[in-house]
């Protein structure tokens, strides 16, 4: 209980500190390029009620949801397939790590050529950001399952699907969830980036458009909304993550 | 070990052959992607021609700058922060959520503030990397045995000397991990920013080639960036392994 209160206090202090920092930077830089926290929040409230926002938001959400679904399903499949086979796991893990560290942004033009401008390119770009972390965390979780659990499964003569369902998956849930949390953030970033480079809809496009028109109010509001959304969801996922790891 | 190598080579070769076959069979058309052997030829040609060397040099210089600043400032901040527990605990939620924040969303803001130049690009690369370095440094410092710190204080070392001669050398493997992360983020930040909005650099050239359907330039450039980041990452990983092996931890 004390730990939770401490986290809450720390978070509040942190938010206050960040707002103060923001205000300070605003005082230094001024109205040309920025808005103060108060102005941004006020504009965000009107912006959220505008039609402009509501035509673009569903687009981003839809692309993000599909991308996340693809990343999770493919990531889990790859992770389990490789994790179950010792040699595959050993050989592919460093390759996945290498894939994880390459700047995937450079692949964007290729994705555009392959998928064309629009929804599918955004989804693909979001998904490639998310697949690798989900696969990596799953692979390592499956590989490091306690041998005694696997042996028990073998003694009970479980079929491979039953083994995954009733032993490997439950044992790996905490680690897999961490993978999902990281995958969630990266997929969101990927989707928004995709919209920034080439799209006619979505919040990323709105942001790019606002840069072109030099509309500081919109830039600040969209950035603010993205950060609040990402940080908010991540905080919830992190809390679940900690609980899962604590239980395990 | 041997079998693992063979497996890896087989996977890469299989992937390339598959791409080659798909391209030659026309499943992937020429406008989307030239066959891999074509890309390899274009790659060599691009490097021999040297026309893009200034762009490549400029991007790499910015990557290096972003990497170095994120790395040095990150390690310094991490080391200082390690001594102040309350501050560290307060910042913990920020570190935990930091990578959920799309830092690129700030790029427009930076352009407005600093102008369309190298500054905003390096800053994005720096911002992406610095927190990873701080967190990894803190992680490493947490594992320094008490006895080492005590020995340092017996030798009357100040906080700076202790960090430079005792604690940071102990964390060397962690610092290498931090270097890998900072490098990856520096690449992502700089190349990505050049993509979004810039007047020069590799990212810009790739975008330019893309709009002109110039696959003979675009694919080799992309390949070059991927190879550079993989090779640098590989060198650091190898070094890390050597260090760990010397300490008997693997």
B16 and B64 together in one domain: no
pLDDT tens sequence across B139-172: 899 888 889 888 888 998 888 888 888 888 888 8
Q: Domain residue spans in chain A?
A: 1-34, 39-247
Structure tokens at B244: 């760990």
pLDDT of residue A1: 45
CB-CB under 8 Å, B93 with A233: no
The CATH fold assigned to A39-247 is MetI-like fold (1.10.3720)
The model carries a pTM of: 0.85
B19 and B81 together in one domain: no
B71 and B21 together in one domain: no
CB-CB under 8 Å, A230 with B101: yes
B16 and B61 together in one domain: no
B169 and B79 together in one domain: yes
Interface of B with A in 133-192 (CB under 8 A): 180, 184, 187-188, 191-192
Disruptive mutation site among B92, B97, B218 for chain A (greatest number of A CBs within 10 Å): B97
Structure tokens at B195: 């993509």
B56 and B151 together in one domain: yes
What angle is formed at CA B182 by the lines to CA B163 and CA B89, rounded to 5 degrees?
55
Dist. CA B188–CA B228, nearest whole Å:
12
Asked if the structure places residue B167 within a domain, the reply is yes
CATH number, domain at B140?
1.10.3720.10
Instruction: Confirm whether the ipTM is greater than 0.85.
Output: no
Counted residue by residue, chain B has a size of 250
B10 and B119 together in one domain: no
B124 and B227 together in one domain: yes
pLDDT tens sequence across A24-40: 988 988 777 788 999 99
B53 and B25 together in one domain: no
B117 and B212 together in one domain: yes
Asked if the structure places residue B39 within a domain, the reply is no
Q: Which domain range does residue B139 map to?
A: 47-246
B7 and B54 together in one domain: no
Asked if the structure places residue B241 within a domain, the reply is yes
Chain B residues with CB inside 8 Å of A133's CB? none
- Residue B7 class from Cβ within 10 Å (0-12 exposed, 13-18 middle, 19+ buried)? middle
% of chain B with per-residue pLDDT over 70: 99
pLDDT tens by residue, chain A, 248 residues: 456 777 788 888 889 999 999 999 889 887 777 889 999 999 999 998 988 889 889 989 999 999 999 999 999 999 998 988 888 888 888 888 888 888 888 888 888 888 887 788 889 999 999 999 999 999 988 888 888 888 898 899 888 888 888 888 888 888 889 889 889 988 988 888 888 877 788 888 888 888 778 888 888 898 889 888 888 888 888 888 888 887 65
B27 and B147 together in one domain: no
Number of domains in chain B: 2
Asked if the structure places residue B42 within a domain, the reply is no
A107: DSSP letter:
G
Dist. CA A174–CA A139, nearest whole Å:
13
Residue of B93, B99, B108 lying closest to A211 (CB–CB): B108
Asked if the structure places residue B38 within a domain, the reply is no
């Amino acid at each position: 209980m004390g730990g939770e209160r401490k986290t809450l206090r720390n978070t509040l202090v942190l938010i206050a500190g960040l707002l103060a920092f923001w205000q300070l930077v605003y005082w230094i830089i001024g109205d040309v390029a920025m808005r103060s926290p108060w102005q941004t929040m006020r504009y965000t409230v009107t912006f959220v009620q505008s039609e402009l926002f509501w035509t673009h938001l569903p687009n981003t959400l839809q692309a993000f949801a599909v991308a996340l679904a693809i990343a999770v399903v493919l990531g889990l499949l790859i992770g389990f397939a490789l994790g179950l086979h010792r040699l595959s796991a050993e050989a592919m893990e460093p390759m996945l790590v290498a894939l994880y560290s390459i700047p995937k942004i450079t692949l964007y033009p290729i994705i555009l050529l392959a998928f064309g401008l629009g929804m599918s390119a955004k989804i693909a770009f979001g998904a490639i950001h998310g697949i690798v972390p989900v696969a990596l965390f799953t692979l390592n979780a499956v590989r490091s399952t306690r041998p005694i659990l696997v042996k028990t499964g073998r003694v009970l003569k479980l079929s491979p699907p039953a083994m995954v369902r009733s032993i490997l998956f439950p044992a790996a849930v905490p680690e897999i969830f961490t993978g999902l949390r990281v995958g969630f953030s990266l997929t969101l970033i990927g989707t928004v980036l995709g919209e920034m480079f080439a799209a006619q809809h979505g919040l990323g496009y709105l942001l790019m458009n606002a840069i072109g028109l030099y509309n500081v109010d919109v830039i600040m509001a969209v950035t603010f909304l993205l950060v609040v959304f990402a940080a908010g969801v991540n905080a919830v996922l992190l809390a679940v993550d900690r609980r899962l790891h604590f239980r395990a | 070990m041997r079998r693992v190598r063979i497996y890896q080579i087989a996977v890469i070769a299989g992937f390339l052959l598959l791409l080659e076959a798909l391209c030659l069979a026309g499943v992937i058309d020429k406008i989307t992607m030239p066959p891999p052997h074509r890309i390899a030829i274009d790659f060599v040609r691009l490097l021999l021609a040297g026309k893009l060397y200034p762009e490549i040099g400029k991007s790499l210089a910015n990557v290096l700058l972003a990497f170095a600043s994120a790395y040095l400032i990150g390690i310094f901040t991490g080391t200082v922060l390690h001594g102040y527990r309350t501050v560290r605990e307060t910042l913990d939620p920020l570190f935990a959520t930091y990578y959920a924040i799309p830092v690129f969303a700030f790029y427009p803001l930076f352009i407005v503030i600093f102008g369309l130049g190298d500054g905003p690009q390096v800053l994005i690369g720096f911002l992406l990397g610095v927190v990873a370095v701080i967190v990894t440094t803190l992680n490493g410092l947490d594992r320094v045995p008490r006895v080492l710190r005590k020995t340092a204080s017996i030798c009357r070392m100040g906080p700076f000397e202790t960090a430079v001669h005792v604690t940071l050398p102990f964390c060397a493997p962690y610092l290498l991990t931090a270097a890998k992360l900072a490098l990856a983020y520096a690449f992502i930040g700089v190349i990505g920013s050049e993509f979004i909005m810039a007047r020069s650099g590799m990212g810009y050239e790739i975008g330019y080639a893309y709009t002109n359907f110039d696959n003979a330039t675009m694919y080799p450039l992309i390949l070059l960036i991927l190879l550079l980041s993989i090779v640098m990452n590989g060198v650091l990983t190898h070094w890390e392994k050597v260090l760990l092996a010397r300490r008997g931890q693997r």
